[in-house]
Structure 1
């Protein structure tokens, strides 16, 4: 079973749009790596009943959570609580790599 992975080995980038690669997925959560080229973004959106955490692995990103925005670099972490509008854009000159965890997993939420 794949209990251990190196996020950097799984990371991908695409010239067309932000790239997402799933590292782990259960009925309770998912963990992905996102790769954003300069100028790419994840448009602001809302998850009504799931929290999301972004951890910056490399690069600089402009993160929005609710009405607040902040530029974060390597080692920084941001929490987007359920119900809050959130998004990220690569505002740096290099690539932006993120480790992203969300729980509960929206695909398996109980209705």
Structure 2
């Protein structure tokens, strides 16, 4: 089935920067996975006209959304409204795995 996948089949690592893979992409939503190894960062950035969420699958990350920062772990959701600067760093000792959604799709 094209609309069913296992998240674990899309998890990975890169030594030079964080890993990301697209799970699904439609006209209204992009759903993907981001994996950050210890010390890796997704630099602060924004998406004009696109909301974004991070669902923490495993690990713990330090998230920036606008002027605020917070630590989030497994089962927690971080939301960045359209146009607001956001980013994350893995300050933990293990992999940080995030289910990421962006709407509307880029």
Report the TM range for the smaller structure's normalisation: over 0.9
Give the superposition deviation at 1:63: 0.4
Residue 30 of structure 1: aligned partner: 30
List per-residue Cα deviations over 1:1-45 (Å, max 9, x = no partner).
411111112111111110111000012110000111100011000
User: TM-score, normalising length from structure 1?
Assistant: 0.92
Give the superposition deviation at 1:94: 0.5
Q: Which ranges of structure 1 fall in alignment gaps of 5 or more residues? A: 107-111
Residue 68 of structure 1: aligned partner: 68
Residue 41 of structure 2: aligned partner: 41
Q: What is the alpha-carbon distance in structure 2 between the residues aligned to residue 57 and residue 98 of structure 1?
A: 6
Q: What is the alpha-carbon distance in structure 2 between the residues aligned to residue 105 and residue 28 of structure 1?
A: 5
Aligned-residue CA RMSD in angstroms?
A: 0.8
Runs of 4+ aligned structure 1 residues displaced above 4 Å come to none
User: TM-score, normalising length from structure 2?
Assistant: 0.96
* Count of aligned pairs: 106
